[in-house]
Amino acid sequence: MVGIKAFLVIFGLLTAFAYMTLIERRLLARIQIRQGPNRVGPDGLLQPLADAIKSIFKEDLVVSRADKVVFVLAPMISVTFAVLTFGLIPFGPKDAFFGYDPWVINLDVGLLYVFAVSEIAIYGIFLAGWASNSKYSLLGSLRSSASLISYELALGISLLAPVLLVGSLNLREIVEWQHQNGWLILYMLPAFAIFLLTSMAEAARTPFDLPEAEQELVGGYNTEYSSIKWALFQMAEYIHLITAAALIPTIFLGGWRMPGFMEQIPLIGGLFALPYLWMFIKIALFLFFFIWVRGTLFRLRYDQLMVFSWGRLFPLALAWFLLAALVVAFKWPMAVLGWLSLLSLLVFSAYVILTAQPRPRGLPRMGAGD
Amino acid sequence: MSIAALAQSMGITLKALFSKPVTIPYPDAPVPLKPRFHGRHVLTRHPNGLEKCIGCSLCAAACPAYAIYVEAAENDPHNPVSAGERYAKVYEINMLRCIFCGLCEEACPTGAVVMGYDFEMADYRYSDFVYGKEDMLVEVEGTKPQRREAAYTGKPVKKGYRVPYVRPELEGVKPPDSK
């Protein structure tokens, strides 16, 4: 049974990765007022297949005097450990999978496991840069591991507050807790924001996609990689992203549950209570958000990246964790956290509104038709 | 970069996401051309069927890229090819050298060589880019590769572009309408 579930998860994940690339290219194209890939198959639907065939049959170069074993192993490490985390995501309650438990494995230290294992992907990146026998790759991999580790720190601490409040590392227990007490995002808005940003950085996603660095370096850690090995790195990156998009709703947005007020509506509450559907909707929403951000923002500079992580996110995460710890330690009501969360939202919106610059008038606008 | 500017830019991209793409699906949909577009040369004829070209080589002299080669021959008085004393026995334009400037068109005293509307002229061999009279006289429809493909498949020449009206110099040329 575990084997079948593992197969389904891996199969579904690989399909999701393939079509994520297509959807991303289409959406980015639409943001740039283009059409995007639409030549292969009906409306471009076979494009991922064509990409896969192309990347398999491209010339596979191995740099001379590269450490061949590590060079070949590095992308495999990256992708393997990216895939390993996804089985931990709860897609439904105990009997959601035709009466069976939808979880591949149920770990009490689930959250810990997810972050421990997904971090090994950085190891793959670093090994790739080291084994390439190229200065570009080595520097690129050093840079990406440094940035990924910086963000990992803020990510871990931002998660401590919800874990403290729930009192469990088990992902399903976190979801069940949210069903009884309301979604964690209500109590943990700053932690949610930090977790969203840092998990984007974790997945090496725009605007934190410095490991890629196509424009300013020749490509960072993957400079010397070609064909399917390069594609494996891309795959690891996207699988990371999908895992992040699944983890965020699991931890902060009630997992497989529909919003509480909708459960009260008699017809809808019964009809659309499918756990898979709601999990899918939430994952899709976050993936759309990631694509949207990628279509909007440009890459941060390295020093900006470091200052943002160590100087902004890390202290904020620490402060919020201390607050949550105070609330838990002195057994204050949880509503305190809710009010603080709301207050942070108000301060943030006030900051956005007060610092908003009016669009300069009279200047020519660039865009289509000019 | 302030957070407010960030939110504004996110709004701009979201608006762009729901706007219509400006892409022209070129090989599928007809491309509109301007009437004075400089495409592949056309050798025109008089209304009575005689060729306008009298083999004077002025186009070859005017050509800045030396792409035109003309070899003239005397007309047979009983069965003339052109309206003048002589006609072009060989008229060749090397389309790889041609820069489509239209100076040949301006130099021509009889208005024989005119720039037409064909532009899909990609081909495989160098020798296929030397266009002879048979490739450029007015009756010829479509580009050389298209005609070769049409002859091979037995289907009519396909046309992928659209011209609102044809310039009067291009006598006898029908406007290449969309398919």
Q: Give CA–CA dist A233/A214, Å, rounded.
A: 14
Residue indicated by tokens 């009206």: B165
pLDDT higher than 90, residue B162: no
* Token duo for residue A171: 């992902």
Are B95 and B129 in contact, with CB atoms under 8 Å apart? yes
Lowest mean pLDDT among A151-160, B31-40, B152-161: B152-161
Tell me which of A358 and A37 has the higher pLDDT: A37
Least confident of A97-101, A272-276, B33-37: A97-101
Give B6-47 pLDDT, tens digit per residue. Answer: 888 899 999 999 999 988 888 777 778 888 889 899 999 998
Contact by Cβ (8 Å): B139, B130: no
Q: Does A368 touch chain B if contact means CB atoms closer than 8 Å?
A: yes
Write down the mean pLDDT value for chain A. Answer: 85
Which residue in B120, B130, B125 sits closest to B157, CA to CA?
B120
pLDDT of A259 over the 90 cut: no
Residues contacting residue B156 through CB under 8 Å, at least 6 positions apart? B150
The structure tokens listed for B61 are 């002299």
**Residue A38's closest chain B neighbor by CA?**
B25
The per-residue pLDDT for range B73-126, each reduced to its tens digit, is 999 888 899 988 999 999 999 999 999 999 999 999 999 999 988 888 888 999
Number of CB pairs < 8 Å for A and B? 53
Q: Residues near A149 by Cβ (< 8 Å), separated by ≥ 6?
A: A122
Sign of CA dihedral A293, A296, A299, A305: negative
Q: Which of A27, A34, A35, A353 to mutate to test the interface with B (most CBs of B within 10 A)?
A: A35
Q: Is the separation of the CB atoms in A287 and A247 below 8 Å?
A: no
DSSP secondary-structure letter at A309?
A: I
Chain position carrying tokens 């090397």: B94
- For residue B20, give the chain A residue with the closest CA: A33
Contact A35 B8 (CB under 8 A): no
**A33 lies within 8 A of chain B by CB:** yes
Which residues are bridge partners to B91 per DSSP? B70
Interface test with A, best of B1, B17, B24, B26 (most A CBs within 10 A): B17
State both tokens at A356. Answer: 């908003």
3-state secondary structure A62-90: CCCCCCHHHHHHHHHHHHHHHHHHHHHCC
* Between B172 and A184, the higher pLDDT residue: A184
Contact B7 A352 (CB under 8 A): yes
Rounded Cα distance, B21 and A36, in Å: 9
Pairing of strands B68-74, B86-94: antiparallel
For A60-74, A98-112, A190-204, which range has the lowest pLDDT when averaged over its residues? Answer: A98-112
Strands B68-74 and B41-43: unpaired
Cα distances (angstroms) measured from residue B167 to each of A61, B108, B170, B171, B174 = 55, 16, 6, 8, 10
ipTM computed for the complex: 0.79
Determine the pLDDT at residue A97. Answer: 66
Q: How far apart are CA A334 and CA A339, in angstroms?
A: 9
Inter-chain CB proximity B17 and A27 less than 8 Å: yes
